[in-house]
Copies of this chain bind each other. A is one copy, B any other.
Amino acid sequence: MLIIMRLDADRSDVERVKGKIKLLGYLPHEIPGEERLAIGITGNKGKVDPELFLTLPGVLEAIPVTKPFKLVSRDAHPAGTIVKVEGAGPLGGKELAVIAGPCSVESRQQIIEIAWMLKEMGIKFLRGGAYKPRTSPYSFQGYKADALEFLKEAKEVTGMRIVTEVKDTETLPIVAECADVLQVGARNMQNYSLLEAVGAQKKPVLLKRGFAATIEEFLMAAEYILYAGNLNVILCERGIRTFETSTRNTLDLNSIPIIRKLCHLPIIVDPSHGIGVWDGVSAMSMAAVAAGADGLIIEVHPDPSAALSDGYQSLKPSTFKALLERLEQLAPIMERTLTLSHAEVS
């Protein structure tokens, strides 16, 4: 059940509704919208009677929710959520978000070098893995705490905002201290303890779709985070597992219009993992934005052939810059903006 408050409802009206919800033994969740406030009710087993709330002052509507997700439902927040990141402009608004950087932080020099390159192109979000979940225990697992220090330094010197993955609850405090946006990876999409933990802290969360997760399961994973108290979630489509072997994954752009209809959270696309071959990344980036994505997260490496991980799907800075120029042309057709700096890449 969602309670939609009137435009002229004041704080005491809101508290009265929340009080009644608690009195019934349920949990209230405030979901701020552009114009109105909605209050989600969770914890009820059966149907809740709308009459119980429609008679309270300040209440406009009481909408029963039949989907399994409630807090992430577009009904709860029709205008769409905009996630604010201090110093870097919001995610989910008119400005197309572009997050770029290497798969892994490989050295102090590497990350600072690529950060400057990206900064000069006008990019505001730097990605880079410190803790890397890997299929094999014998693969490079990231430079961990050292990498976090290098990311912090990259942020200090360039002013770029940091997006990096948190892989478990143990390292959450140290990663959250460094990250401006915490990434939860595809393999952890149904690690509910981690979802609850990132939901219980304040940093925005970039949640990647599990490679075998249905769209409904993906939204239910986001629901866990909102339910734990953090409304600042950005969804990220990154491809699903199919029988096709000529691509690393099958980037499922169908999820963009489907999720847009069902859910109010911003959704961005990771074409690098999605198609998994560098010379398909530009085409899939253009396609993602044309499908309506709020942004992109792209692997860019100063020297892909020397990368410690995912080199085959990483773009060279010059290829990335050429892509940005095409995205800049595409953005206005999608009623988006993309503000780039047109300095030369060294």
Contacts and interface: CB of A to CB of B under 8 A. Distances in A.
Interface of A: 42-43, 68-70, 133-138, 167-170, 187-188, 190-194, 210-212, 214-217, 220, 223-224, 227, 240-247, 250-254, 256-258, 260-261, 274-275, 277, 279-280, 283-284, 286-292, 326, 329-330, 333
Given A170-B193, A258-B280, A275-B254, A68 B136 contact: yes
A294 to B, nearest CB: 13
A241 B212 contact: yes
Identical chains bound together, number: 4
Contacts of A138: 42-43, 68, 70
29 contacts: A68-B135, A68-B136, A70-B138, A133-B192, A137-B192, A167-B193, A168-B191, A187-B190, A188-B191, A210-B212, A212-B243, A214-B243, A240-B242, A240-B243, A240-B244, A245-B245, A247-B258, A254-B280, A256-B287, A257-B280, A257-B284, A260-B283, A261-B279, A286-B290, A286-B291, A287-B287, A290-B330, A330-B333, A333-B333
A333 to B, nearest CB: 5
Contacts of A283: 256-257, 260, 290-292
B251 A254 contact: yes
A137 B190 CA distance: 11
A286 B335 CA distance: 13
A190 B137 CA distance: 11
A210 B244 CA distance: 12
Given A135-B190, A330-B333, 16 more contacts: A136-B223, A137-B220, A191-B191, A214-B246, A215-B246, A241-B243, A242-B243, A242-B250, A250-B252, A257-B275, A258-B275, A258-B277, A286-B290, A287-B288, A289-B290, A290-B330
A89 B256 CA distance: 33
Contacts of A136: 68-69, 220, 223
Contacts of A242: 240, 242-243, 250, 252
B244 A287 contact: no
Nearest to A275: B254
Nearest to A43: B138
Nearest to A328: B333
User: Which of A43, A69, A217, A257: most chain B CB closer than 10 A?
Assistant: A257
Contacts of A277: 258
